Amino acid sequence: MFTGSGTVLNIIAIVLGGAIGVALGGRFKENLKDLITQVLGCVTFISAADAISAYWNKDLVDQLPKGATMLVVVFSLLLGALIGNTMRIEDRLENFGTK
């Protein structure tokens, strides 16, 4: 590999993903498009959290098995999404915004 290969790979992935989205996007229902966007956003958030995990409290990280801090982030997001969905928080915020 060469310096900057990650950036090149990222650019290629974005271009290919965009092309696939343009080619196939019209075939998906709106709710499926929203779901895919939310999943990809969550993956992006998790990747960002992993990138900054080196800055987390070293004592905590040392006491937990490798990767456990990432699982905390994943399960926190999952639990928050389930609670928010159950409480219909997004619907209520949208209704509040239209009043």
**Residue 54, pLDDT score:** 67
pLDDT per residue as tens, the chain (99 positions): 677 888 899 899 989 988 988 888 788 888 888 888 898 888 888 888 777 776 677 787 778 787 777 787 788 888 988 998 999 988 888 888 776
What is residue 55's predicted lDDT score, i.e. its pLDDT?
64
The answer to pTM > 0.75 is no
What are the tokens at 30? Answer: 């709106």
